[in-house]
Amino acid sequence: MKYTFPIILGLYVIVMFVVSSVYHSTIMDPAQLLWAFVHFIVGPIIFVVSLVIVIRRIIRHEISRPILITAILCLILVPVWTFGFWTIGRYCRPVMFSLVIRSNTEIAETVMKQHPEGEKFTIQGFRYPLCKMMDADAYHKDGILFLIVPSAPGPKDTIMYDPNRARDHANDQSLGGAWWFSKYRGQ
């Protein structure tokens, strides 16, 4: 228990950070299933175990200090990640995306020259910081490359490359440089 509990907490935080900020997975992707397992099963279990540990410490004073510190961290971090998952990702995603912005810009400019405007095509080699993204549908119009983010079936989020600022990005999230992320809003 002395080492297991901190390791489980560390793995929980790593999975939540990677899926929210570094890797945009597709539905039924192993990373998505791992995230769901960690978010909905592991998180509540370690929260309850932490609560029991803290209560035992208050009543009997027989819990070691490292386990108590880990339990208190769990009581803080699990709710933060449970309720702040999307917000944390919104702030961390641009920082992480900046690591691969140069290679993605080169790919975007190359495919915009290769394909006629308005034609849908598949883009390959586009990167997230730790991995290549699966092949994704893309098209360009008015000098803007629209990359459809692979995710759940139905309406999709979009990553845009807009080097000339031809579009109003008031409702989009900046990923750095000429890159923008647009969450599908039911329009």
What confidence score (pLDDT) does residue 27 get?
Answer: 54
* Of 35, 15, 19, 24, residue with least CA distance to 157: 24
Q: Tokens 């990167």 label which residue?
A: 127
The percent of residues above 70 in pLDDT, for the chain, comes to 86
For range 155-169, the mean pLDDT: 82
- HEC secondary structure over the chain: CCCHHHHHHHHHHHHHHHHHHHCCCCCCCHHHHHHHHHHHHHHHHHHHHHHHHHHHHHHHCCCCHHHHHHHHHHHHHHHHHHHHHHHHHHHHHHHHHHHHHHHHHHHHHHHHHHCCCCCCEEECCCEECCEECCCEEEEEECCEEEEECCCCCCCCCEEEECCCCCCCCCCCEEEECCEEEECCCCC
d(CA 73, CA 139): 45
pLDDT above 70 for 137: yes
pLDDT above 80 for 2: no
Compute the mean pLDDT over every residue in the chain, rounded to the nearest whole number. 81
CB count, 10 Å around CB of 107?
20
- Residues 69-102 pLDDT 10s: 999 999 999 999 888 877 887 788 788 878 888 8
d(CA 148, CA 137): 6
